[in-house]
Structure 1
Amino acid sequence: MKSKVLPSVPLLAAGVIATPAAAATVSVTIPRINVAEYHKPYVAGWLEPVGGGAARTVFVWYDVKKGGREPGTKWLADLRSWWRKGGRSLQLPADGVSGATRAPGTYRIPLPDNLPAGQYVLKVEAARETGGRELVSVPITVPGKGGSASGKTELGAVTVR
């Protein structure tokens, strides 16, 4: 069977085919901390509508492969703010949300495509064994306006673009 190739130039000129807008991303930096006993932090990021409403977890990094008597999920409650805002009711591992802990570096995570327009606060929380705990908040507007903030110890720059 012979396939028919349709010309794309008239469709492009008519505006029928359009490229999708670039998806918003969160950039999270985990700083290198020089201590004798370093453990990768558990980190969670979630969105809260400014006007109130349910929080939506965007990502959670923990020891997903730890098993035995102390599964990796046992220590997620150390991410206190996230845990109270909905982490305790999240069925883990959650597809597209759960991931392993990360070494120091900068990581990009896409924001959900189906966010309703409005104002939100992106919150990123980190907790580390034999370390500290830190929470960073970044106000954003969907669509359009991103923002950034920076932690002091357990988190570096957190940016939404």
Structure 2
Amino acid sequence: MRTPIFALIGGAIAAPAAAGTVTVTVPRLDVAEYHKPYVAIWLTPAGGGPARTIALWYETHKTGKDAGTKYLAELRAWWRQGGRSMTVPADGISGATRPPGQYSVKLPDNVKPGAYVLNVEAARETGGRELVTLPITVPAGTAHGAGKTELGAVTVSAR
């Protein structure tokens, strides 16, 4: 009996590299009543088109009707650009709110080359809301920005 032999033609098969990284800073605020912010991170084509949510941080641990999702509409720009039609939780996108600190989120591998606007929006109970937008070119673009209150430094690096 012959044993089949399998070979890779052309060497090893490599997984595609990540399209890049978004780094978001949730600042520490000195306020009497602090609540972790809801945060939405999404891309829109620079020339217009449908938004693509990359990350959504909200109170995922709550239970009951509209648990945790009730206040997603407070992320007003994201909500108007497609959030209202999104089914949550969304696998690989939804996550819990974050305490103050710096967080990295990978851009999806299948972002097509072109010009985009990265949007990062935060809204906090008994706090404010803030939207940071950064133009970015995929591949090989980098952009930096910062919020004034609810968001700190925001950086996007596309490969």
| TM-score (ref. length: structure 1) | 0.87
Partner of 2:147: 151
The equivalences for 1:1-161 within 5 A come to 20-21=16-17, 23-69=19-65, 71-161=67-157
Deviations 1:38-94 (A, max 9, x none): 000000000000011100000000001112355110000000000000001000000
Poorly superposed stretches of 4+, deviation over 2 Å: 16-23
- Higher helix proportion, which one? 1
Give the C-alpha shift of residue 20 in structure 1.
4.9
- Mapped to 1, the partners of 2:66 and 2:18 lie a distance apart of 41
Structure 2 unaligned runs (5+)?
Answer: none
- Mapped to 1, the partners of 2:41 and 2:61 lie a distance apart of 20
Q: How many residues are treated as equivalent by the alignment? A: 155
- Mapped to 1, the partners of 2:85 and 2:64 lie a distance apart of 22
- 1:73 alignment partner, SS class: coil
Question: What residue identity is the alignment partner of 1:146?
Answer: T
Q: Percent identity?
A: 64
- Mapped to 2, the partners of 1:142 and 1:120 lie a distance apart of 8
- Mapped to 1, the partners of 2:66 and 2:106 lie a distance apart of 30
| TM-score (ref. length: structure 2) | 0.88
Give the C-alpha shift of residue 110 in structure 1.
0.2
- Mapped to 1, the partners of 2:68 and 2:18 lie a distance apart of 34
